[in-house]
Amino acid sequence: MTDVDRFRRDGYLLLPAAFDPMLLKPMIDMLERRVDRLAPELVARHGLASGHAGASFERRLGLLYDGHELDNREWDPVLFGPEFHDLITRPELTDPLAALLGDEITYQGNGHLRPYLSRHLDRLPWHQDAQFYGAGTEHLLWQMAQVWLPLVDADADSGCLAVVPGSHRWGLIDGAVPGHDNVAGSGAERQRRIYRATARRVAFEPITLLPMRAGDLLVFTNLLAHTGTENRAGIVRWSIDMRFEATRGAHPVTPSEARGYDVMHRRISGRGYVPLRVRGAEGPQTWAGWRRVAGGRPA
Ligand SMILES: O=C(O)CCC(=O)C(=O)O
């Protein structure tokens, strides 16, 4: 069975050791510099005795936030930079994606960097990503790929993902909120509805935990039911999740796929995400080119 067969059967594909961990180093070094710059402010704000300068990448941010809330979304803008650009245009990532999406591939600009702290009873609940993208995007099942990339080892104690294999065949569990605006934030009530409906649907299904090491890659469909798990390991589970598409316009699509692209692209442009061509006949866009499209947005 090929990787493509496995992806179509299970709705996800785990690629162990896709990256030499050394290739993650520029990204990690950049994040360590950010944490270092942030440390004096956090020391003052949280009344700490020390900035924990000697602590490891896995531990330092957790020590600086000990007992305090961290909003992961504050870290997303950090992805718009040369280190992330260079990481996601690498063949180690785009080769496996090309097997699934074809040779013209675009990162949709919608990535999240999650310094996920060790917090008992805290995790992202069960959902399908398409529930958030909006009804219609389920038709992009084979035109999109979600990628999850841990920057540190993530296991059952430190918040690895869990999935229901084959759940992409269930269709959209709850996306049918008429008039739902998929550009604006989902709102607490909508989020609750999505999480509740998905939790009910997965309740009696066999789940699979996906422990991963730094350098592994997980690729999954936008209909795969998945959740984060509790991080109880005392380390920061640094990970990146991001969405790619078979570049719109580069290949023929069905009318429902075209509708799916319309809904998805409305969200992307409405939210100001800046897509990046990571692979194609013209090669990947350069960092300078990506930055230019973003209108010189500061990195
Ligand atoms: O990183 C996590 O814990 C959850 C990530 C997730 O739900 C996603 O990538 O869609």
Asked if 161 and 237 count as a contact pair (C-beta separation under 8 A), the reply is no
The 10 Å CB-count burial string (b at 16+, else e) for 94-127 is: bebbbebbeebbbbbbbbbbbbbbbeeeeebebb
- Asked if residue 36 is part of any domain, the answer here is no
**Helix 3-10 with 91-101: angle, nearest 10 deg:** 70
How many Cβ atoms sit within 10 Å of the Cβ of residue 204?
6
Asked, for residue 64, whether it belongs to a domain, the answer is no
Query: Alpha-carbon distance 102 to 94, whole Å?
Result: 10
Exposure of 7 in the CB half-sphere (CA atoms within 13 A):
25
CB of 239 shorter than 6 A to ligand 1: yes
Give the atom of ligand 1 at the shortest distance from the alpha carbon of 114. 1
Instruction: Look at residue 94 and tell me if it is in a domain.
Output: yes
pLDDT tens string, the chain, 299 residues long: the values are: 999 999 999 999 999 999 999 999 999 999 999 999 999 999 999 999 999 999 999 999 999 999 999 999 999 999 999 999 999 999 999 999 999 999 999 999 999 999 999 998 889 999 999 999 998 999 999 999 999 999 999 999 999 999 999 999 999 997 555 567 788 877 888 888 899 999 999 999 999 999 999 999 999 999 999 999 999 999 999 999 999 999 999 999 999 999 999 999 999 999 999 999 999 999 999 999 999 998 855 44
Answer whether 140's CB lies under 8 Å from 172's CB: no
Other C-beta atoms closer than 10 Å to the C-beta of 157 total 16
Structural domain contains residue 66: no
40 within some domain = no
pLDDT of 299 reads 46
Three-class secondary structure of residue 266 per DSSP: helix
- CA 213 from chain center: how many Å? 16
Structural domain includes residue 113? yes
Domain housing 152: 9-20+72-293
Ligand 1 contact, 148 CB (< 6 A): yes
CA pair distance 240, 81, nearest whole angstrom:
14
**Structural domain tally of the chain?**
1
For residue 45, being part of any structural domain is answered with no
- Ligand 1 proximity of 231 Cβ (cutoff 6 Å): no
Domain presence at residue 196? yes
- Whether residue 243 has its Cβ less than 6 Å from ligand 1: no
Alpha helices in the chain, H assignment, sequence order: 3-10, 25-45, 60-64, 82-88, 91-101, 129-133, 188-202, 255-270, 287-293
CATH of the domain at 207: 2.60.120.620
